[in-house]
């Protein structure tokens, strides 16, 4: 009886607490431990393969093939002096393309401006016709001025001649003294021969008629 009691006490005092402690440790161990992260295997660094060559001079240009982005050196804005509908555009007229000097880049519909040019040509032709007419009128006026000056000179010569006859034959009653009167009357009565001399003849007749009345020749 005493031996059974002593074994029970020994189990209760020593063995049972030990079992509880071991079970608690086993239960809480996964909760407190950090899971191990798998690590990547280390790869060995590969050496760069290079090619060794001897240095030598180049006879031509050095060409290096590479990739990159092209940046524009400058941007030009192309504008037309006139407005209109574009009927042609150069196929290379875009970013990155090239065009040769003297090539046509764009064309504008010329129909609208062709009508304007035609209308201006008609105006120029009318102005040229008017100019020719004015030049002809100027030539005609110059000819009339020349004829008028000739008529004036004829009148002056006739006046001098009549005055000389008047001074030399003022007291004579012979038929020769009345010749200026007859000349004046014939000039007054004779019609002008043509249109070019109409003005000069008219002035001459008026002058001689005036002389006839002034000196009283009958």
* Number of Cβ within a 10 Å radius of residue 182: 13
Three-class DSSP labels, 198-218: HHHHHHHHHHHHHHHHHHCCC
Model confidence at 68: pLDDT above 70:
yes
User: Percentage of residues in the chain with pLDDT exceeding 70?
Assistant: 62
Instruction: Dump the DSSP string for 19-70.
Output: HHHHHHHHHHHHHHSPPPPPPPPPPPPPPPP---------SS----------
Is residue 196 scored above 90 in pLDDT? Answer: no
pLDDT at 177: 44
What share of the chain has pLDDT > 90, as a percent? 10
Are the C-beta atoms of residues 107 and 86 closer than 8 Å to each other? yes
- Report whether 130 contacts 124 (CB < 8 A): no
SS3 content of the chain, % helix, strand, coil (to 5): 55, 5, 40
For the chain, the C-alpha Rg in angstroms (whole number) is 67
3-state secondary structure of 189: helix
**Residue 165 token pair:** 């006859």
Residue 192 pLDDT more than 90? no
Cβ neighbours of residue 108 under 8 Å, at least 6 residues apart?
80, 82, 84, 85, 86, 87
Give residue-wise pLDDT tens across range 80-134: 777 888 888 888 888 778 888 888 888 888 888 888 888 999 999 999 999 999 9
CA-CA-CA-CA torsion sign (107, 111, 112, 117)? positive
Task: Provide the pLDDT for residue 199.
Answer: 47
How much is the pLDDT for 194?
46
Could you tell me the two tokens for 37? 């992260």
Mean pLDDT of the chain: 73
Indicate the helix (H) or strand (E) that contains 108. Answer: strand 106-108
pLDDT at 35 > cutoff 70:
no
For residue 154, give Cα distances in angstroms to 44, 79, 100, 136, 204: 133, 72, 78, 27, 8
Taking only the tens place, the pLDDT of each residue in 122-174 is 999 999 999 999 999 999 999 999 998 888 888 888 888 887 887 776 555 44
What single-letter DSSP state applies at residue 87?
Answer: E
Adjacent-strand bridge partners of 107: 88
Q: What integer pLDDT is reported at residue 59 of this predicted model? A: 83
Question: Each residue of 1-34: b (16+ CB within 10 Å) or e?
Answer: eeeeeeeeeeeeeeeeeeeeeeeeeeeeeeeeee
């Amino acid at each position: 009886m005493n031996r059974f009691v002593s074994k029970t006490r020994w189990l209760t005092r020593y063995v049972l607490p030990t079992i509880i402690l071991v079970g608690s440790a086993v239960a809480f161990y996964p909760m407190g431990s950090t899971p191990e992260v798998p690590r990547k295997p280390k790869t060995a660094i590969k050496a760069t393969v290079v090619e060794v060559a001897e240095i030598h001079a180049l006879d031509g240009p050095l060409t290096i093939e590479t990739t990159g982005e092209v940046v524009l050196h400058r941007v030009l804005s192309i504008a037309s002096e006139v407005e209109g509908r574009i009927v042609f555009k150069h196929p290379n007229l875009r970013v990155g393309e090239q065009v040769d000097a003297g090539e046509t880049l764009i064309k504008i519909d010329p129909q609208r401006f062709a009508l304007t040019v035609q209308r201006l040509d008609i105006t120029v032709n009318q102005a040229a016709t008017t100019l020719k007419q004015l030049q002809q009128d100027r030539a005609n006026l110059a000819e009339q001025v020349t004829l008028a000056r000739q008529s004036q000179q004829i009148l002056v010569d006739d006046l001098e001649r009549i005055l000389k006859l008047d001074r030399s034959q003022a007291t004579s009653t012979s038929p020769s003294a009345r010749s200026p009167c007859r000349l004046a009357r014939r000039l007054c009565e004779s019609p002008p021969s043509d249109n070019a001399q109409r003005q000069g003849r008219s002035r001459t007749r008026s002058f001689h008629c005036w002389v006839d009345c002034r000196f009283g020749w009958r």
